Copies of this chain bind each other. A is one copy, B any other.
Amino acid sequence: MTSAAIAARHAIRNKQHRGPTAGLAPGFVQGNLAVLPAAQAADFMRFCHLNPKPCPVIGVGEPGSGRIPALGADLDIRTDISEFCVWKDGELVGVVDDLSQVWRDDLVAFVIGCSFSFEEALIEAGIRMRHIERRRNVAMYRTNIATAPAGPFGGPMVVSMRPLKPADAIRAIQITSRFPNVHGAPVHFGDPAAIGIADVTKPDFGDFVGIEPGEVPVFWACGVTPQSAVRAARPSLSITHKPGSMLVTDLRNAQLASF
Protein backbone atom coordinates (compact mmCIF):
# COMPACT_ATOMS: atom_id res chain seq x y z
CA MET A 1 0.00 0.00 0.00
CA THR A 2 1.28 3.46 -0.90
CA SER A 3 1.83 5.69 2.11
CA ALA A 4 0.33 9.17 2.27
CA ALA A 5 3.87 10.57 1.94
CA ILE A 6 4.62 8.65 -1.26
CA ALA A 7 1.18 9.55 -2.64
CA ALA A 8 1.85 13.23 -1.91
CA ARG A 9 5.25 13.12 -3.63
CA HIS A 10 3.74 11.38 -6.66
CA ALA A 11 0.96 13.98 -6.87
CA ILE A 12 3.60 16.72 -6.80
CA ARG A 13 5.84 14.91 -9.31
CA ASN A 14 2.85 14.49 -11.69
CA LYS A 15 1.87 18.16 -11.26
CA GLN A 16 -1.46 17.11 -9.71
CA HIS A 17 -0.61 18.96 -6.51
CA ARG A 18 0.74 22.49 -6.69
CA GLY A 19 1.56 25.03 -4.01
CA PRO A 20 1.71 24.77 -0.22
CA THR A 21 2.05 21.38 1.43
CA ALA A 22 0.66 22.25 4.88
CA GLY A 23 -1.82 19.52 5.85
CA LEU A 24 -0.52 17.09 3.23
CA ALA A 25 0.44 13.59 4.51
CA PRO A 26 -0.18 14.29 8.20
CA GLY A 27 2.36 12.66 10.50
CA PHE A 28 5.16 12.74 7.93
CA VAL A 29 8.17 15.03 8.16
CA GLN A 30 8.32 17.90 5.68
CA GLY A 31 11.63 19.59 5.01
CA ASN A 32 13.19 22.80 3.76
CA LEU A 33 15.42 22.58 0.70
CA ALA A 34 18.75 24.30 0.05
CA VAL A 35 20.83 23.40 -3.02
CA LEU A 36 24.38 24.66 -3.49
CA PRO A 37 27.34 24.02 -5.79
CA ALA A 38 29.81 21.47 -4.38
CA ALA A 39 32.35 24.28 -4.03
CA GLN A 40 30.23 25.85 -1.27
CA ALA A 41 28.69 22.66 0.13
CA ALA A 42 31.39 21.85 2.66
CA ASP A 43 31.24 25.33 4.18
CA PHE A 44 27.44 25.16 4.28
CA MET A 45 27.53 21.73 5.95
CA ARG A 46 29.89 23.14 8.55
CA PHE A 47 27.63 26.18 8.99
CA CYS A 48 24.71 23.84 9.71
CA HIS A 49 26.82 21.76 12.08
CA LEU A 50 27.81 24.90 14.01
CA ASN A 51 24.21 26.14 14.17
CA PRO A 52 22.08 23.06 14.76
CA LYS A 53 19.08 24.88 16.22
CA PRO A 54 18.28 27.00 13.15
CA CYS A 55 19.87 24.57 10.63
CA PRO A 56 19.05 20.95 11.57
CA VAL A 57 20.14 18.87 8.55
CA ILE A 58 17.88 15.84 8.07
CA GLY A 59 19.23 14.78 4.69
CA VAL A 60 22.11 15.48 2.26
CA GLY A 61 22.42 14.24 -1.32
CA GLU A 62 25.58 13.14 -3.11
CA PRO A 63 27.04 15.76 -5.47
CA GLY A 64 25.02 15.81 -8.68
CA SER A 65 22.22 13.64 -7.29
CA GLY A 66 18.65 14.66 -6.49
CA ARG A 67 18.09 11.48 -4.50
CA ILE A 68 18.22 11.26 -0.71
CA PRO A 69 17.39 7.61 0.03
CA ALA A 70 17.30 8.17 3.80
CA LEU A 71 14.25 10.38 3.31
CA GLY A 72 12.45 8.14 0.79
CA ALA A 73 13.57 5.32 -1.53
CA ASP A 74 12.07 6.91 -4.65
CA LEU A 75 12.52 10.52 -3.54
CA ASP A 76 14.15 12.97 -5.96
CA ILE A 77 14.18 16.57 -4.88
CA ARG A 78 14.37 17.72 -8.51
CA THR A 79 10.78 16.60 -9.19
CA ASP A 80 9.22 16.18 -5.76
CA ILE A 81 8.75 19.80 -4.73
CA SER A 82 6.09 21.84 -6.50
CA GLU A 83 7.79 25.25 -6.56
CA PHE A 84 11.50 26.10 -6.48
CA CYS A 85 13.19 29.48 -6.22
CA VAL A 86 16.35 29.77 -8.31
CA TRP A 87 18.96 32.29 -7.16
CA LYS A 88 22.03 33.58 -9.00
CA ASP A 89 24.58 35.62 -7.08
CA GLY A 90 22.00 36.06 -4.33
CA GLU A 91 19.26 37.39 -6.59
CA LEU A 92 16.02 35.54 -7.36
CA VAL A 93 16.05 34.74 -11.08
CA GLY A 94 13.08 32.42 -11.38
CA VAL A 95 10.42 30.20 -9.84
CA VAL A 96 10.16 26.79 -11.54
CA ASP A 97 8.11 23.64 -10.96
CA ASP A 98 10.93 21.18 -11.54
CA LEU A 99 14.70 21.35 -11.79
CA SER A 100 15.35 19.46 -15.05
CA GLN A 101 16.43 22.61 -16.91
CA VAL A 102 18.47 23.97 -14.00
CA TRP A 103 20.24 20.94 -12.53
CA ARG A 104 24.02 20.61 -12.71
CA ASP A 105 26.40 17.78 -11.90
CA ASP A 106 28.03 19.74 -9.11
CA LEU A 107 24.91 20.58 -7.11
CA VAL A 108 24.40 19.26 -3.58
CA ALA A 109 20.93 19.09 -1.99
CA PHE A 110 20.40 19.75 1.71
CA VAL A 111 17.11 19.06 3.47
CA ILE A 112 16.60 20.90 6.74
CA GLY A 113 13.98 20.14 9.39
CA CYS A 114 10.92 22.36 9.63
CA SER A 115 8.66 23.45 12.48
CA PHE A 116 5.64 21.71 10.92
CA SER A 117 6.81 18.57 12.78
CA PHE A 118 6.86 20.11 16.24
CA GLU A 119 3.68 22.11 15.62
CA GLU A 120 1.89 18.83 14.98
CA ALA A 121 3.14 17.54 18.34
CA LEU A 122 2.06 20.77 20.09
CA ILE A 123 -1.44 20.62 18.59
CA GLU A 124 -1.76 16.95 19.59
CA ALA A 125 -0.91 18.08 23.14
CA GLY A 126 -3.82 20.54 23.04
CA ILE A 127 -1.71 23.67 22.57
CA ARG A 128 -3.40 25.98 20.10
CA MET A 129 -1.36 27.49 17.26
CA ARG A 130 -3.11 30.73 16.41
CA HIS A 131 -1.38 31.26 13.06
CA ILE A 132 -2.53 27.83 11.89
CA GLU A 133 -6.09 28.36 13.13
CA ARG A 134 -6.17 31.64 11.21
CA ARG A 135 -4.43 30.10 8.15
CA ARG A 136 -1.58 32.59 8.31
CA ASN A 137 2.15 32.11 8.15
CA VAL A 138 4.03 32.08 11.42
CA ALA A 139 5.64 35.44 12.32
CA MET A 140 9.42 35.46 11.76
CA TYR A 141 12.03 38.01 12.84
CA ARG A 142 15.69 38.74 12.27
CA THR A 143 17.42 38.87 15.67
CA ASN A 144 20.67 40.18 17.07
CA ILE A 145 21.72 36.59 17.85
CA ALA A 146 24.70 35.93 15.57
CA THR A 147 25.08 32.52 13.97
CA ALA A 148 28.53 30.93 14.11
CA PRO A 149 29.99 31.66 10.65
CA ALA A 150 31.57 29.11 8.28
CA GLY A 151 33.23 30.32 5.09
CA PRO A 152 30.84 32.74 3.37
CA PHE A 153 27.87 31.64 5.49
CA GLY A 154 26.83 33.59 8.57
CA GLY A 155 24.54 36.41 9.62
CA PRO A 156 21.77 36.76 12.16
CA MET A 157 19.55 34.00 13.46
CA VAL A 158 15.97 34.26 12.24
CA VAL A 159 13.34 33.12 14.75
CA SER A 160 9.68 32.22 14.54
CA MET A 161 7.30 33.44 17.26
CA ARG A 162 4.23 31.80 18.74
CA PRO A 163 2.18 33.58 21.44
CA LEU A 164 1.42 31.26 24.37
CA LYS A 165 0.24 31.43 27.96
CA PRO A 166 3.13 30.57 30.33
CA ALA A 167 1.75 27.13 31.28
CA ASP A 168 1.43 26.24 27.59
CA ALA A 169 4.88 27.69 26.94
CA ILE A 170 6.36 25.41 29.62
CA ARG A 171 4.64 22.39 28.03
CA ALA A 172 5.78 23.56 24.57
CA ILE A 173 9.38 23.77 25.81
CA GLN A 174 9.12 20.19 27.05
CA ILE A 175 7.59 18.93 23.80
CA THR A 176 9.87 20.76 21.38
CA SER A 177 12.93 19.68 23.40
CA ARG A 178 12.12 16.18 22.12
CA PHE A 179 12.61 17.36 18.52
CA PRO A 180 16.22 18.57 18.14
CA ASN A 181 16.04 17.81 14.38
CA VAL A 182 13.29 20.37 13.85
CA HIS A 183 14.71 23.30 15.83
CA GLY A 184 14.26 21.86 19.34
CA ALA A 185 13.47 24.02 22.37
CA PRO A 186 12.87 27.77 22.06
CA VAL A 187 15.82 30.14 22.16
CA HIS A 188 13.96 32.92 24.02
CA PHE A 189 10.64 34.00 25.47
CA GLY A 190 9.31 37.32 26.71
CA ASP A 191 10.92 40.67 25.94
CA PRO A 192 11.47 40.84 22.14
CA ALA A 193 14.05 43.64 22.54
CA ALA A 194 16.35 41.27 24.45
CA ILE A 195 17.08 39.50 21.13
CA GLY A 196 17.03 42.65 19.01
CA ILE A 197 13.42 42.67 17.83
CA ALA A 198 12.38 46.34 17.82
CA ASP A 199 8.67 45.87 17.10
CA VAL A 200 7.12 42.45 17.61
CA THR A 201 3.97 43.52 15.76
CA LYS A 202 6.00 43.93 12.56
CA PRO A 203 7.64 40.61 11.62
CA ASP A 204 10.30 40.51 8.91
CA PHE A 205 8.52 37.51 7.35
CA GLY A 206 5.06 35.99 7.86
CA ASP A 207 2.12 37.39 9.78
CA PHE A 208 1.70 38.82 13.30
CA VAL A 209 -1.41 37.21 14.85
CA GLY A 210 -1.50 39.19 18.10
CA ILE A 211 -0.30 38.60 21.65
CA GLU A 212 -3.34 38.40 23.94
CA PRO A 213 -3.36 39.44 27.63
CA GLY A 214 -1.65 36.74 29.69
CA GLU A 215 0.33 35.45 26.71
CA VAL A 216 4.07 35.81 26.14
CA PRO A 217 5.87 35.59 22.81
CA VAL A 218 7.94 32.40 22.56
CA PHE A 219 10.75 32.36 19.99
CA TRP A 220 12.16 29.32 18.18
CA ALA A 221 15.17 29.18 15.85
CA CYS A 222 13.81 29.15 12.30
CA GLY A 223 14.75 27.43 9.03
CA VAL A 224 14.73 30.79 7.28
CA THR A 225 18.14 31.32 8.94
CA PRO A 226 20.04 29.04 6.51
CA GLN A 227 18.07 30.42 3.55
CA SER A 228 19.02 33.94 4.47
CA ALA A 229 22.65 32.86 5.07
CA VAL A 230 22.72 31.29 1.60
CA ARG A 231 21.28 34.40 0.00
CA ALA A 232 23.78 36.66 1.76
CA ALA A 233 26.68 34.42 0.66
CA ARG A 234 25.70 35.11 -3.00
CA PRO A 235 26.75 31.76 -4.49
CA SER A 236 26.79 31.67 -8.30
CA LEU A 237 23.76 29.36 -8.16
CA SER A 238 21.49 28.24 -5.34
CA ILE A 239 18.04 26.72 -5.22
CA THR A 240 15.49 26.70 -2.41
CA HIS A 241 11.88 25.55 -2.11
CA LYS A 242 9.31 28.33 -2.32
CA PRO A 243 8.26 28.97 1.29
CA GLY A 244 5.33 26.71 2.21
CA SER A 245 5.90 24.28 -0.67
CA MET A 246 8.00 21.77 1.22
CA LEU A 247 9.57 18.39 0.54
CA VAL A 248 7.35 15.59 1.93
CA THR A 249 9.56 12.77 3.26
CA ASP A 250 8.96 9.19 4.39
CA LEU A 251 10.18 10.00 7.90
CA ARG A 252 7.45 10.21 10.50
CA ASN A 253 7.35 13.12 12.91
CA ALA A 254 7.23 10.62 15.79
CA GLN A 255 10.55 9.13 14.58
CA LEU A 256 12.25 12.47 15.16
CA ALA A 257 11.34 12.51 18.86
CA SER A 258 14.46 12.02 20.92
CA PHE A 259 12.76 10.41 23.94
Contact = CB atoms under 8 A, between A and B. Distances in A.
Copies of this chain held together in the complex: 2
Interface in A115-146: none
Interface stretch (A41-49, A61-69, A183-191): A183-191
A71 B186 CA distance: 37
A214 interface: yes
B190 A216 contact: yes
Contacts of A214: 191, 194
B173 A187 contact: no
A14 interface: no
Contact of A170 (B167, B189, B191): B189
Interface in A176-205: 177, 185-191, 194
Q: Select the residue from A166, A189, A259 with max chain B CB neighbours within 10 A.
A: A166
A194 B170 CA distance: 15
A173 B173 CA distance: 7
A42 B188 CA distance: 43
A170 B185 contact: yes
A160 to B, nearest CB: 15
Given A194-B214, A214-B194, A259-B259, A189 B166 contact: yes
A187 B174 contact: no
A194 B169 CA distance: 14
A167 B186 CA distance: 8
A177 B214 CA distance: 23
- Most chain B CB within 10 A, of A170, A185, A186, A188, is at A170
Given A170-B185, A170-B188, 14 more contacts: A166-B189, A166-B190, A166-B194, A167-B188, A169-B189, A170-B187, A170-B189, A173-B173, A174-B174, A174-B185, A177-B177, A189-B216, A190-B216, A259-B259
